Amino acid sequence: MTTNRKARRKQRAIDREVLHRKMRAAAGPQAEEMRPIETTFVDKRIACGARCTWWDGIANVGLTPPTSTGNRLPCCPNCRRMLFEYSDEQAWFESVDRHEARGNPGYRKFVEWLRGKCFDTVTDAVNAYAEETGIVMGGSVGK
């Protein structure tokens, strides 16, 4: 960056700060009330493994190693495989509940247990679930 460009950028920052000070001074004692409300955006998306059983909130995804161009893709934080995405937990569980209703009793509890866990196959996950909880899955789950 050239020296002139840096100087202009610095001057604009100073000008903005001076303008903000003048505006606060003109607003008087109620200036505190006039400040914008700070909000924290919560991303409710759910990510799930395309080739593994992992699922969790989008904030918990991993990233692939950088490519030759420096790009990184969201992936399972354990096995680094690619992901699918749901708009929110409600949409995710609607899909889960539909699968359970098609003759797979206990599927929702299984999926709730599965959150944040990565297995290569559903069969591996079902076996680990049975070992940990003593619940054997029926229906088409794990077959």
pLDDT in tens, 81-100: 999 999 999 999 999 999 99
Number of domains in the chain: 2
Q: Please indicate, yes or no, if residue 138 is contained in any of the structural domains.
A: no
27 compared with 79, residue with greater pLDDT: 79
pLDDT score recorded for residue 141: 66
Asked if residue 28 and residue 50 are part of one domain, the reply reads no
pLDDT score recorded for residue 20: 62
Lowest mean pLDDT among 11-15, 40-44, 115-119: 11-15
pLDDT in tens, 127-143: 999 999 999 987 666 55
pLDDT score recorded for residue 3: 72
Q: Please indicate, yes or no, if residue 90 is contained in any of the structural domains.
A: yes
Banded model confidence at residue 14, pLDDT cuts 50, 70, 90: confident
**Does the pLDDT value for residue 75 go beyond 70?**
yes
Asked if residue 108 and residue 67 are part of one domain, the reply reads yes
Banded model confidence at residue 77, pLDDT cuts 50, 70, 90: very high
d(CA 84, CA 104): 22
Domain span including residue 22: 3-34
CB-based contact 95:85 (threshold 8 Å) = no
- % pLDDT > 70, the chain: 79
Asked if residue 51 and residue 22 are part of one domain, the reply reads no
pLDDT score recorded for residue 22: 67
Asked if residue 54 and residue 113 are part of one domain, the reply reads yes
Task: Compute the half-sphere exposure of residue 64: CA atoms within 13 Å on the CB side of its CA.
Answer: 13
Q: Please indicate, yes or no, if residue 140 is contained in any of the structural domains.
A: no
